[in-house]
Amino acid sequence: MQFIKADINVDFIGKRKIAFCLSIACILVSIGSLVIHQGPKYGIDFAGGTLIQIKFLSATDISSIKSGLNSIGLEKLSVQEFGEESAHEYLIRTENPLVTSEGFSSELEKALKSSVGKEVEIRRLEMVGPQVGKDLREKALFAMFYALLFITIYISGRFELKWLLSAVMAGALIGAVYVFNLFDVSIPFLIVAALAVSLVLFWFLELKYAMGAIVALIHDVTITVGVFSIFDKEFTLPIIAALLTIIGYSLNDTIIVFDRIRENIRKYHKKPLDFIINRSINETLSRTILTSATTLFVVVALFILGGGIIHDFAFALIVGIVVGTYSSIYVASPILLSWKQLGKSK
């Protein structure tokens, strides 16, 4: 299906400097928000604590709910409405992991019924210890880091036939991260440093396609995390799943454009590289927009109709799809041209 004319010629490459400035501004705002908020806002999956979801038959005053919780010794907690207003559901969070036994549920239900004067239903009761939360947080960071490294092997092998070189580089980085991890180095700092070293190695080893893809993926993840920080949304395990999905989606888009660039380099070998890259983006534009639009339609439906449980997951995918489509056009491909202009490629 093609709803964009085959001979369309939008000057994407000519606007790359504006796009780079926009991307840098978005990344700086994202990092600034994370600094102001002292990092992401972790849910109980990563921070530890207890999460309780309750439901009343009618609207209830939050102060009455807190009063009932305080009567059984629950303090330093937050209560907020959950889902649609007509659902009369509330989420209770406390930093302390509680013993969530059957007896505790009965005690909680009695306390709330006494303070509020209404029947209450305990719909969810989750507890995560602080050490478990820390372990999950570290494993989530490692999952994204390893995903990016294995992507570099694939990109370098497919487009530059440097399977062994990229595999050795990735293996060395994984080994270095593992060794430093044994010395209790901060995991976020360690992974950021490893990604920075990876980009330097891409430069010296001339893995230009891998660099374009990884810079685009880092761009997508950073901005998505920044948007979550700006809107003060929690990071939970489903959000990590969303970020990994975004990485896969954005990479697929980038590979389609890279494939066409590689074909057109042979086809238009006498043409300048900026013409070839712009031509390639235009030739794949119909597919890019169609794929993004249909995927976005489904995710927006999930966001609107999926309920509170899946709301943040769908929101992350919406941001990721939009940013990922943008980066495939304005970040990954133009890096190949910048590479040549800096004298690293013929």
Q: Is 122 left (phi over 0), alpha (psi -120 to 50) or beta?
A: beta
CATH topology assigned to domain 49-128: Alpha-Beta Plaits (3.30.70)
13-43+132-341: which CATH number, 1.10.1660.10, 3.40.1010.10, 1.20.1640.10, 1.20.1440.230?
Answer: 1.20.1640.10
- pTM, two decimals, is 0.83
Could you state, in order of their start, the residue ranges of all structural domains in the chain? 13-43+132-341, 49-128
Measure the CA–CA gap between 147 and 164, rounded to whole angstroms: 18
The three-state secondary structure class of 74 is: coil
| pLDDT tens across the length of the chain (346 residues) | 556 666 678 888 888 889 999 999 999 999 999 999 888 888 877 777 778 888 888 888 888 888 888 877 776 778 888 777 777 888 888 776 665 556 777 888 888 888 888 888 888 887 777 666 778 778 888 888 888 888 888 888 888 888 888 888 888 888 888 887 777 777 778 888 888 888 888 888 888 888 889 999 999 999 999 999 999 888 888 898 899 899 988 888 888 899 999 899 888 888 888 899 999 999 888 888 888 999 999 999 999 888 777 889 999 999 999 999 999 999 988 888 887 777 554 4
Number of H helices, E strands in the chain: 13, 6
DSSP letters for 164-204? HHHHHHHHHHHHHHHHHHHTT--HHHHHHHHHHHHHHHHHH
Count of other CB atoms within 10 angstroms of residue 74: 18
